[in-house]
Amino acid sequence: MTLHQPEPAGVKAGETIEVSHRRVLEITLPMTLAFMTTPLLGMTDIAVIGRIGDAETLGGLVVGTLIFDFVFAVCNFLRAGTTGLTAQAVGAGRRRDAEAVFLRALVLALGIGLLLIVAEPLIMSLGLLAVAPGPRVAEAAGTYVFVRMFSAPFALANYAILGSVLGRGWSGRALLLQIIVNGTNIALSILFGLVFGWGIEGVALGTICGEAVGCLAGVAVLAPSLAAGRLPGRAEVFDRRGFGLMLGVNRDIMIRSFCLLAGFALFTRLSASFGPVTLAANGLLMNIFMTGSYFLDGVATASEQLAGLTIGARLRQAFDRTVSLTVLWGMAIGFVLSAVILFGGEALIHFLTTDPEVRATARIYLPFAAATPLVGALAFVMDGLYIGATWSAAMRDMMILSLAAFALFGYGLAPLFGNDGLWIGFELFLGLRGASLYAMLPRQRDRSFAATSG
């Protein structure tokens, strides 16, 4: 289905933005594959260090990876914010603005990356304080973090590159870039860590090389577009209004990411209060859900791209079509994932652990884990829509509200109903995020289109 509307400023006569089931799937499927390469990379690193046969080194890798997961998850605003702002500029026909958005994001990425290198000792100290591993594990983690931190400028530049590529609607090229980054990382981590025998330093060096090669590939992908649009001057890149908008959007997304991480940390903390068996069972079930969430991330990316393009082009009917189709596909994917976890979860539990107590406990709470993709599907789609539309302040506020509700329900229900109460609180956390954003959507949409028509 191709939607036509009266020609707004910035859209050439006869131009349309297609919003169809096919278009949604053309974005969703390659991005799902792209996101799925990330856990494959993690498993490769664990397999490389695992073959060395030293438990403390493996533990150091796990701790070091956890530190980077937290730091880079917080910095994901560079990707998300760039996608929405780029998509709106492209939808409005402002190609030069799209190039300026990318260059602003690149400046931020390189600046933050260099700051992370300088702050590595502090980051490492805080990470060890939070995890409190043994001396040898801490030593191995320190080595890994010290070496890998030099990848930060490249990794964050890749966030800006990926956001710009996605904002332009190039999902196939985004998949290619993710394959290059993670494929190079996997190959060189095996070569350096296992074949050359460099161990954990080799794995970290492989990551640096993967991010650097991916960064060069990303610049090559964007170079023709940048050259065709003529590079914006320094004054345009550092324009106060444009830079202020990017910083505001990125700040809100960063706060949202902090709250999301805090929600998972709270779930883990409360799980630990029920003892090691329940903690392990809940962690196992949560990992199953997080693996399935990559499929929901794919449709969230589709909602990001299409929302940004349709708002930028001022096509209200196309935007409404984007909402209905991405919500439909998000709920459908959530339903399928829930069914897979419910009926195949026991086999997954037995594959992931041999501990009989953990297996038994995980089976008890499997229905809760199975419900999470369906309950959380709307939140994934709404996050994508709000990021693409750059309604970051509303998304931030609803995340804070949902986290506060989870803390209230978690601490209130867990003492009364045990682990069942904790899972109910977590389901409410996911459901409230999606429902609150969906309820606010008509008002946000009317405000955006009223502003663009004025």
Q: What is the pLDDT of residues 115-129, one digit of tens each?
A: 999 999 999 998 888
pLDDT recorded at residue 14:
37
**Pair type for strands 2-3 and 17-18:** antiparallel
DSSP one-letter code for 355? -
pLDDT recorded at residue 2:
38
Above 70 in pLDDT, residue 289?
Answer: yes
Structure tokens at 328: 């439909």
Tell me the C-alpha distance between 184 and 37, whole Å. Answer: 12
Give the SS3 label for residue 136.
helix
Task: Please check whether residue 163 is in contact with residue 81, taking contact to mean a CB–CB distance below 8 angstroms.
Answer: yes
Above 70 in pLDDT, residue 4?
Answer: no
Tell me the C-alpha distance between 113 and 116, whole Å. Answer: 5
Q: Among 46-55, 63-72, 144-153, 243-252, whose mean pLDDT is lowest?
A: 46-55
| Residue 324 burial by Cβ neighbours in a 10 Å radius (0-12, 13-18, 19+) | exposed
Task: Please check whether residue 370 is in contact with residue 341, taking contact to mean a CB–CB distance below 8 angstroms.
Answer: yes
Name the pTM for this structure.
Answer: 0.82
Tell me the C-alpha distance between 130 and 28, whole Å. Answer: 36
Q: Among 262-276, 296-310, 318-332, 357-371, whose mean pLDDT is lowest?
A: 262-276
Q: Among 1-10, 179-188, 264-273, 322-331, whose mean pLDDT is lowest?
A: 1-10
Task: Please check whether residue 228 is in contact with residue 368, taking contact to mean a CB–CB distance below 8 angstroms.
Answer: no
pLDDT recorded at residue 5:
37
Above 80 in pLDDT, residue 409?
Answer: yes
pLDDT recorded at residue 433:
93
pLDDT recorded at residue 43:
67
pLDDT recorded at residue 452:
53
Intra-chain end-to-end CA distance of the chain, in Å: 28
pLDDT recorded at residue 264:
82
Contacts of 326 (CB under 8 A, 6+ apart): 24, 299, 302, 303, 306, 381, 384, 385
pLDDT recorded at residue 3:
39
Phi, psi of 262 (to 5 degrees): -65, -35
The mean predicted confidence, pLDDT, of the chain is: 85
Taking Cα atoms as reference points, which of 431, 335, 293 lies closest to residue 375?
Answer: 431
Q: Among 4-8, 298-302, 307-311, 412-416, whose mean pLDDT is lowest?
A: 4-8
SS3 sequence of 376-420? HHHHHHHHHHHHHCCCHHHHHHHHHHHHHHHHHHHHHHHHHHHHH
Structure tokens at 405: 């509700």
Q: Output the CA torsion sign for 429, 432, 438, 441.
A: negative
pLDDT recorded at residue 451:
64
pLDDT recorded at residue 16:
63
Distance from chain centroid for Cα 307: 17
Q: What does the radius of gyration of the chain's CA atoms come to, in whole angstroms?
A: 22
Q: What angle do CA 82, 320, 296 make, to 5 degrees?
A: 55
Tell me the C-alpha distance between 250 and 323, whole Å. Answer: 23
DSSP one-letter code for 11? S
Above 90 in pLDDT, residue 248?
Answer: no
Give Cα separations from 448 to 151, 389, 434, 437, 442 (angstroms). Answer: 38, 8, 20, 15, 10
Could you identify the residue written with the tokens 């389901």? Answer: 427
- Mean pLDDT in residue range 29-42: 78
Give the SS3 label for residue 437.
helix
- Bridge partners of 3, per DSSP, are 17
Structure tokens at 431: 């459901």
Distance from chain centroid for Cα 408: 26
